Amino acid sequence: MAEWKEYAGSDEQIEEMANGFIFRDHNNEECNLIYRLDQFMDSDQMKKLLNACGAKSYLICEPHPYADMIKRWADTGQPVWVKINDYTKTRYMTTKPDWNIPNADYSFKPFK
At 90 the three-state DSSP class reads: strand
Task: Record the pTM.
Answer: 0.61
What is the count of structural domains for the chain?
A: 2
Residue 9 sits in the same domain as residue 56: yes
At 91 the three-state DSSP class reads: strand
C-alpha gyration radius of the chain? 19
What is the rounded distance in angstroms from the CA atom of residue 62 to the CA atom of residue 64?
7
The string of pLDDT tens digits covering residues 23-81 is 999 999 998 788 888 867 888 998 998 999 999 999 998 878 899 999 999 999 999 99
Range of the domain at 102: 67-107
Task: Give the mean model confidence (pLDDT) for residues 12-27.
Answer: 90
Q: Which of 29, 1, 17 is nearest to 9 (CA)?
A: 17
User: Quick count: other Cβ atoms within 10 Å of Cβ 46?
Assistant: 20
Residue 35 sits in the same domain as residue 76: no
